[in-house]
Amino acid sequence: MSTGIFLLQKDKSLIEMNQEEYVTEEVFQDLLEKYPNLLAGVKL
């Protein structure tokens, strides 16, 4: 049994999400600015 995270598509198929490193720190910081809920424990 897999313990991965999957994304359910509109056609009901699943895509397994794979962990990858960010290309640059700037890309990572931009994502956090746009989506602060990515950080565990953040309450807005």
Q: What percent of the chain has pLDDT over 70?
A: 86
* Identity of residue 16: E
Task: Look up residue 31 and give its two tokens.
Answer: 């994502």
Band (34; pLDDT cuts 50, 70, 90):
very high
| pLDDT number for residue 20 | 86
Q: Domain-by-domain residue ranges, the chain?
A: 5-38
Calpha distance 8→12 (Å, rounded) = 6
Confidence of residue 41 (pLDDT cuts 50, 70, 90): confident
Cα–Cα dist 16/6, whole Å: 4
